[in-house]
């Protein structure tokens, strides 16, 4: 399998750290408001990656954090904690805000058939792990104190800009707009923030009472659950220049190693070429999508129509087309229920095409093309083998086709053959034979309904 690596800017062969296994860490939500469908593009991507790895036979361990402290409204270690701001605005405690939006996030994710990561870890449950990591960073000489707290010295890490590939001038311009005279380098960032008496969530630490910098939680929890060298770290491309660059610097400072082998980033969901985002003021949530008559899984289908590294356009037309395509697959699935299995082998070339596509840096659009090839040929052959192949593909696509079709797994072949024979009898207007076959199907515990799309069979209620 080949995967792109943001660090090397190359697509290369995936070689797991431990044979047969893959560890994936995904930057999770900051739970101070509803996630929007742009965020969910990132989580559909990481979920699809996990599913592809599982499909290709790897034993996957997927870890995702929940940010419930330390993410300030500015990347400059200033401003309010996003959780505390949310709490103040809604007249609740930061914990109440965190638990509420965390629940909504996972409910929305479930409606997108995003599998819950094997480990979901909250920042506030891992303060001792973060303090321990900072101790190591400090002991290795990568930190200094200022009136803000304990600061990471990016000047000590010559590789600092390797992930972002920004030159020093760009980095300085991007890193902060105000100059903090106490900092040694413009890109230096806080590991532990003190002297913020108004901050509600505070913990004791060797550097005084305070709270962790945002980047710390991801370093601490990824290392805790996946070890000091793990396979893949995911997130949206906006995380490359600051959050992931700083995570990588912390990892190195603490362990002396390149902890993450491969960084993978999804491109943005865009509206009129502008990123969907809070500051852009163009957010759409999953519930809002549903009010527009678009099901969460239609959106998942939309995500599959673009390569994850390419921007994806959110428009009324693109949503409609995704919805129609998903309906097309479901209608096909419904029709296929009554077909007999004729030749179990004809789908194999398409299955190969599918597997090659997903193993080529997650080329899901190409994988969908393989699915539609099966639909086309399946319609001609009227062979239920097509349905089995689509269900196999759905382990990756996660469209929940089986549930959408309402199919009971395994309508017995005998029943399917009787239904096909009955269709033939109806076509030749042999009504007596058609009724006889319907009775026979009934005796086997199934009912057949005639719809404009053809016969449908389901277990007798």
Residues near Zn ion (CB under 5 A): 27, 218
Q: Is 85 in the site for ligand AMP (CB under 6 A)?
A: no
Told to check if 213 binds ligand AMP by CB under 6 A, we report no
Which listed option, Zn ion, ligand AMP, none, makes contact with residue 55 (CB within 5 to 8 Å by class)?
none
From ligand AMP, Zn ion, none, interface partner of 333 (C-beta below 5 to 8 A by class) = none
Q: Provide the minimum distance between the beta carbon of 364 and Zn ion in the complex, in angstroms, as a whole number.
A: 24
DSSP-assigned beta bridge partners for residue 274: 271
Pick from 171, 266, 337, 434 the residue near ligand AMP by CB under 6 A.
266
Neighbours of 196 (CB within 10 A): 17
Q: Which two tokens stand for residue 354?
A: 């599918």
Residue 236 interacts, among ligand AMP, Zn ion, none and using kind-specific CB cut-offs from 5 to 8 Å, with ligand AMP
86 in contact with ligand AMP (CB under 6 A): no
215 vs 456 by CB, closer to Zn ion: 215
Tell me if 30 contacts ligand AMP by CB under 6 A: yes
Question: How does strand 230-236 pair with strand 21-26?
Answer: parallel
**Shortest Cβ contact with ligand AMP: which residue?**
236
Give the contacts of 229 (CB within 8 A, at least 6 positions apart). 17, 257, 258, 259, 261
φ, ψ of residue 261 in degrees (nearest 5): -75, -40
- The end-to-end CA distance of the chain, in Å, is 46
Q: Which does 29 bind (CB under 5 to 8 A by kind): Zn ion, ligand AMP, none?
A: ligand AMP
Cα torsion 360, 364, 370, 376 to 10°: value is: -170
For the record, the structure tokens of 60 come out as: 């996957």
On whether the CB atoms of residues 12 and 1 are closer than 8 A, the answer is: no
Long-range contacts, stretch 423-429, CB < 8 angstroms, 24+ apart = 423/338, 423/454, 423/455, 426/450
Q: Any alpha helices (H) in 56-160, and if so which ranges?
A: 82-90, 94-111, 127-139
- Interaction mask 230-249, ligand AMP, x per CB under 6 A: -----xx-xx----------
Number of residues that make up the chain:
461
- Closest to Zn ion by CB, 189 vs 339, is 189
For residue 215, the minimal CB distance to Zn ion (Å) is 7
Least distance between ligand AMP and beta carbon 275 (Å): 5
Tell me: does residue 39 bind ligand AMP (CB under 6 A). yes
Task: State which residue, 131 or 218, has the beta carbon closest to Zn ion.
Answer: 218
- Chosen residue from 23, 29, 86, 398 binding ligand AMP by CB under 6 A: 29
Strand partners, 35: none
CB of 226 vs ligand AMP, minimal distance in Å: 18
Q: Residue 203: helix, strand or coil by DSSP? A: strand
Q: How far is the CB of 239 from ligand AMP (least distance, A)?
A: 5
Least distance (Å) from Zn ion to the CB of residue 269? 19
Q: Residue 218: which of ligand AMP, Zn ion, none does it interact with, CB under 5 to 8 A by kind?
A: Zn ion
Given a contact cutoff of 8 angstroms between Cβ atoms, the answer to whether 120 and 28 are in contact is yes
Which listed option, ligand AMP, Zn ion, none, makes contact with residue 245 (CB within 5 to 8 Å by class)? none
The verdict on 149 binding ligand AMP (CB under 6 A) reads: no
Alpha helix (H) ranges present in 292-430?
296-304, 316-336, 348-358, 364-381, 385-397, 401-405, 413-427
Q: Least distance to Zn ion from the beta carbon of 310, Å? A: 23
Question: What is the C-alpha separation between 184 and 143, in angstroms, rounded?
Answer: 10
The one segment of 13-21, 24-32, 251-259, 435-443 that binds ligand AMP by CB under 6 A: 24-32
The site for ligand AMP, by CB under 6 A, has a size of 17
| Cα 94 from Cα 90, distance rounded (Å) | 10
- Reduce the DSSP state of residue 63 to 3 states and report it: strand
Q: Output the DSSP codes for 165-212.
A: ---HHHHHHHH-SS--TT-SSTT-EEEEEE--TT-S--B--TT-SEEE
User: Would you tell me which residues interact with ligand AMP (CB under 6 A)?
Assistant: 27, 29-30, 38-39, 41-42, 235-236, 238-239, 266, 268-269, 275-277
């Amino acid at each position: 399998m080949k995967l792109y690596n943001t660090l090397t800017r190359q697509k290369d062969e995936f070689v797991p750290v431990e044979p047969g296994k893959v560890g994936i860490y995904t930057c999770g939500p900051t739970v101070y408001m509803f996630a929007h469908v742009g965020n969910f593009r990132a989580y559909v991507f990481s979920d699809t990656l996990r599913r592809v790895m599982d499909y290709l036979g790897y034993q996957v361990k997927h870890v995702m954090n929940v940010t419930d402290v330390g993410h300030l409204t500015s990347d400059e270690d200033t401003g309010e904690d996003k959780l505390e701001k949310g709490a103040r605005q809604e007249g609740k405690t930061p914990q109440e805000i965190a638990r509420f939006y965390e629940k909504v996030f996972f409910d929305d994710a479930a409606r997108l058939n995003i599998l819950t990561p094997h480990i979901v870890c909250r920042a506030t449950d891992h303060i001792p792990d973060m303090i321990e990591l900072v101790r190591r960073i400090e002991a290795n000489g990568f930190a200094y104190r200022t009136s803000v707290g304990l600061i990471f010295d990016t000047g000590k890490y010559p590789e600092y800009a390797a992930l972002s590939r920004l030159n020093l001038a760009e980095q300085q311009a991007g890193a902060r707009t105000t100059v903090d005279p106490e900092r040694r380098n413009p890109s230096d960032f806080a590991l532990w923030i003190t002297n913020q008496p108004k901050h509600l969530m505070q913990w004791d630490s060797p550097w005084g009472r305070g709270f962790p910098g945002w980047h710390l939680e991801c370093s601490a929890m990824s290392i805790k659950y996946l070890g000091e060298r793990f396979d893949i770290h995911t997130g949206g491309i906006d995380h490359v220049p600051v959050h992931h660059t700083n995570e990588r610097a912390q990892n190195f400072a603490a362990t002396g190693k390149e902890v993450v082998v491969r960084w993978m980033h999804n491109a943005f969901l865009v509206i009129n070429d502008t990123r969907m985002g809070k500051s852009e003021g163009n957010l759409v949530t999953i519930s809002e999508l549903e009010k527009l008559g678009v099901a969460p899984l239609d959106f998942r289908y939309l995500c599959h129509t673009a390569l994850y590294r390419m921007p994806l356009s959110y428009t009324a037309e693109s949503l409609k087309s995704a919805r129609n395509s998903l309906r097309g697959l479901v209608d096909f699935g419904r029709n296929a229920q009554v077909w007999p299995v004729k030749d179990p082998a004809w789908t194999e070339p398409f299955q190969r095409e599918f597997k090659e596509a997903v193993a080529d840096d997650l080329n899901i659009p190409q994988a969908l093309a393989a699915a539609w090839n099966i639909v086309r040929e399946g319609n001609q052959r009227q062979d239920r083998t097509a349905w089995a192949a689509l269900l196999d593909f759905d382990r990756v696509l996660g469209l929940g086709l089986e549930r959408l079709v309402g199919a009971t797994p395994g309508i017995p072949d005998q029943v399917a053959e009787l239904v096909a024979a009955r269709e033939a009898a109806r076509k030749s207007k042999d009504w007596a034979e058609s009724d006889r076959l319907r009775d026979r199907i009934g005796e086997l515990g199934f009912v057949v309904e005639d719809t404009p799309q053809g016969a449908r069979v389901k277990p007798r209620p």
